């Protein structure tokens, strides 16, 4: 063992019983609690992000392609489906109707999906909670609960001459997104086209990695640059995801202050150690220890405290994250947060950053008293009372 590390450990763990000082214990606890809190909060934020992305892409595609010539979309679809990294592509239609519920007229979005595409049908049917027929509309659960929709639904199609029509309720779906569950009707592609001549036809593309959407957008525009418009799922909800990203960064900065406050305890611990070991510093310098080696001894004390606190905090934080992810004992009101439990997503990149911040702050705050110790002259240190 190098002498500097040996002396740092000896000064840190005091007495014959090898106990650590009270200030050192407080320092380690502060670092540990700060690191654990950061890991848990950032994992919760990542969990909400992951869950929200998954919910947004249940019906919404990762890339939305529109063309001035709608018939052109079919040839684009067949080509794109052969690309590596593309998990599926399907044409869909979107229009609007004015639903009639007793005396209320409510505008609703109608989305026509290509149910002949087995993958698209299977993806949607994962969120169907009730099936009552083979024709008509799937209504969002919010619509059913608000307007007590049961077997039929009356509506005015988007036409010049508004005439009320009636159709069957095919089933009920629940995506867990308020806007869609309360404002959407889902039906098959041809049914949506027959409602009105006023509809928008688009091509939805799903990819294996949703976060590579911008790369695929560039590739699509390079191959189809004539009258083709591409929108990624990130761009369609840019404000929301930008707000979530800013919130995560803000939470990281605020909670890092806990670690910063705990690092001041390390400053106090090393300062007390320097004062107590002033004579020892004089002896060491008389024996030939340079200022750099003295600085190393006391800065290593802070680094050891930071390592112990960071290790305990990481273990505690990861342990609680794993328990909350497995047993889901922290419940949430589903009507407010759209999920019933606190979501967790452990990102080891974020954890590495948190651990790095803890270690850097611990070392930085031990440097100031360590520099003071290294600058002591041997004669003054030996005369210190």
Provide the pLDDT for residue 59: 77
Neighbours of 180 (CB within 10 A): 23
Report the predicted TM-score, pTM, of the whole model to 2 decimal places.
0.75
Report pLDDT digits (tens) over 232-286.
988 887 787 788 788 888 888 888 888 888 888 888 877 777 777 777 777 777 7
Lowest-confidence pick of 51-60, 349-358, 371-380? 371-380
Q: What is the DSSP letter of 86?
A: E
CA distance readout (Å), 5 to 8, 11, 296, 378: 5, 10, 8, 21
- In total, the chain counts a number of residues equal to 385
Side-chain half-sphere of 102: how many Cα atoms within 13 Å? 4
Provide the pLDDT for residue 172: 93
pLDDT over threshold 60, residue 18: no
In this structure, what token pair is assigned to residue 7? 């002396």
Q: Which of 198-212, 287-301, 370-384 has the highest mean pLDDT?
A: 198-212
| Residue bearing tokens 């069957």 | 168
Report pLDDT digits (tens) over 94-117.
999 999 998 889 999 999 998 888
In this prediction, residue 160 has a pLDDT band, given cuts at 50, 70 and 90, of: confident
CA 110 from centre of chain: 31
Report pLDDT digits (tens) over 75-97.
889 889 889 999 989 999 999 99
Contact between 97 and 222 under an 8 Å Cβ cutoff? The reply is no
Which candidate, 261, 342, 253, 254, places its Cα nearest to that of 32? Answer: 261
Residue ranges per structural domain of the chain: 3-55+240-383, 69-226
Long-range contacts of 180-183 (CB under 8 A, 24+ apart): 180/59, 180/140, 181/140, 181/141, 181/142, 181/143, 182/140, 182/142, 182/143, 182/146, 183/108, 183/109, 183/140, 183/142, 183/143
In this prediction, residue 209 has a pLDDT band, given cuts at 50, 70 and 90, of: confident
CA 91 from centre of chain: 30
- Rounded CA separation 271/267 (Å): 6
């Amino acid at each position: 063992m190098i002498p500097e590390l040996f002396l740092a450990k000896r000064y840190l763990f005091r007495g014959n019983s090898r106990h650590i000082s009270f200030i050192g214990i407080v320092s380690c606890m502060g670092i540990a609690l700060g690191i654990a809190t950061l890991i848990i909060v950032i994992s919760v934020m990542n969990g909400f992000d992951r869950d929200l992305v998954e919910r947004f892409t249940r019906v919404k595609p990762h890339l939305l392609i529109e063309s001035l010539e709608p018939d052109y979309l079919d040839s684009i679809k067949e080509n794109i489906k052969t690309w590596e990294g593309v998990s599926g592509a399907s044409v869909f239609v979107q229009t609007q109707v004015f639903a009639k519920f007793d005396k209320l007229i409510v505008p609703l979005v109608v989305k026509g999906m290509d149910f002949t595409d087995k993958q698209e049908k299977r993806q949607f049917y994962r969120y169907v909670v009730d099936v009552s027929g083979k024709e008509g509309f799937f209504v969002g659960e919010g619509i059913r609960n608000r307007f007590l929709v049961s077997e039929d639904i009356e509506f005015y199609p988007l036409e010049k001459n508004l005439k009320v029509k009636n159709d069957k309720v095919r089933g009920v779906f629940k995506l867990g997104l308020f806007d869609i569950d309360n404002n959407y009707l889902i039906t098959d592609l041809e049914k949506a086209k027959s409602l009105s001549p006023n509809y928008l036809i688009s091509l939805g593309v799903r990819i294996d990695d949703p976060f590579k959407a911008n790369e695929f957008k560039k590739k699509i525009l390079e191959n189809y640059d004539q009258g083709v418009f591409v929108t990624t799922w990130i761009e369609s909800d840019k404000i929301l995801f930008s707000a979530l990203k800013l919130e995560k960064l803000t939470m990281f900065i605020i909670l890092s202050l806990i670690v910063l406050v705990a690092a001041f305890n390390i400053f106090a611990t090393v300062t007390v150690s320097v004062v107590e070991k002033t004579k020892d510093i004089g002896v060491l310098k008389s024996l030939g220890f340079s200022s750099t080696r003295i600085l190393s001894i006391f800065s290593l004390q802070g680094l050891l405290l930071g390592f112990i606190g960071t290790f305990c905090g990481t273990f505690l934080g990861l342990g609680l994250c794993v328990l909350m992810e497995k047993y889901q004992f922290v419940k949430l009101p589903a009507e407010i947060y759209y999920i019933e439990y606190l979501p967790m997503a452990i990102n080891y990149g974020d954890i590495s950053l948190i651990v790095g911040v803890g270690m850097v702050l611990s070392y930085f705050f031990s440097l100031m008293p360590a520099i003071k110790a290294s600058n002591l002259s041997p004669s003054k240190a030996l005369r210190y009372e």
